[in-house]
A and B are shown apart, each in its own frame.
Chain A
Amino acid sequence: MNQSVSKDQSVTKTYLREFLTAMIGYAVALLVSVFLLQHIPSSAWWRIPLALAPIIPIFFALRAFLRYFQRIDELQRRIQLEAFALSFGGTCVVTFSYGLLEYAGFPILNWTWVPALMMTFWGIGSGIASWRYLARQR
């Protein structure tokens, strides 16, 4: 097995391990946080830190991604950059359009939909950019 392939695989494996661990932590923290928020008095001072607790593992997920971004090569970085561009633009257009629709009576949505939308566009953008650069010759 070639070293380059194994290096690439190890970068991806490290990223997936760190990222998935963080996301499992997020899921657990979210469940615990939501459960406790339903069972504690609304006057409790620690409701706010409890509601924000799931953000801690999200920082670990962000750290995992930034470390991955530092380890990948220039083409992979360009692919990610193009994916971010699509994600940024797509999210701006959709959220702004929906914001205008809310004036027309559409239901008010929670802000937590925004990162979900960003992630979706990021995934689509990664797929498109990867196809453009990495697909076999036409």
Chain B
Amino acid sequence: MAIFSAPTVRVMKNRLKVLRAEHNWSQAELADYLGVSRQTVNAIETGRYDPSLPLAFKIARLFQLPIEAIFQDDLAEESEVQKKD
């Protein structure tokens, strides 16, 4: 049963942890800037939760980067590999 299964299948990868480290922010500080809980930042960083589109835009604006520079799904990665081939 899905509800009892292991944590969410990882469909998105993100660079949030790296970007946060570059800015020297704690999870709590980033959570404060985004208006969410520290647990939510932690869940996004560990790939357990994919943020909503509004929150993803908020994150992108905060780091002044396009969304796709922060979040990447497995399909995007596959298509990159195919392009290289």
* B31 / chain A contacts, CB cutoff of 8 Å: 2, 4-5
Q: Are A82 and B3 in contact (CB under 8 A)?
A: yes
Q: What is the CB-to-nearest-CB distance from A93 to chain B, in angstroms, rounded to a whole number?
A: 12
With an 8 A cutoff between CB atoms, is B26 at the interface? Answer: yes
Q: Which of B3, B7, B40 contacts A75 (CB 8 A)?
A: B40
Q: Which of A2, A74, A125 contacts B55 (CB 8 A)?
A: A74
How large, as a class, is the contact surface on chain A?
20 to 34
Q: Are A133 and B32 in contact (CB under 8 A)?
A: no
Q: Are B36 and A75 in contact (CB under 8 A)?
A: yes
Q: Are A128 and B43 in contact (CB under 8 A)?
A: no
Q: Are A3 and B3 in contact (CB under 8 A)?
A: no
- Minimum-distance CB pairs A-B, first 5: A4-B32, A2-B28, A4-B31, A73-B36, A75-B40
With an 8 A cutoff between CB atoms, is A27 at the interface? Answer: no
With an 8 A cutoff between CB atoms, is B52 at the interface? Answer: yes
- Looking at chain A's contact residues, the main secondary structure is helix
With an 8 A cutoff between CB atoms, is A135 at the interface? Answer: yes
Give complex CA distance A137, B8 in Å: 12
With known contacts A4-B37, A75-B39, A132–B32 Cβ distance under 8 A:
no
Give complex CA distance A83, B7 in Å: 15
Q: Are A4 and B29 in contact (CB under 8 A)?
A: yes
Closest A residue, CB atoms, query B33: A4
Q: Are B39 and A128 in contact (CB under 8 A)?
A: no
With an 8 A cutoff between CB atoms, is B72 at the interface? Answer: no
Closest B residue, CB atoms, query A72: B37
With an 8 A cutoff between CB atoms, is A29 at the interface? Answer: no
Q: Are A75 and B32 in contact (CB under 8 A)?
A: no
With an 8 A cutoff between CB atoms, is A8 at the interface? Answer: yes
Q: Are A73 and B35 in contact (CB under 8 A)?
A: yes
Give complex CA distance A76, B4 in Å: 18
* B6 / chain A contacts, CB cutoff of 8 Å: 132
Closest A residue, CB atoms, query B54: A74
Q: Are B3 and A128 in contact (CB under 8 A)?
A: yes
Give complex CA distance A3, B32 in Å: 6
Q: Are B36 and A133 in contact (CB under 8 A)?
A: no
With an 8 A cutoff between CB atoms, is B48 at the interface? Answer: yes
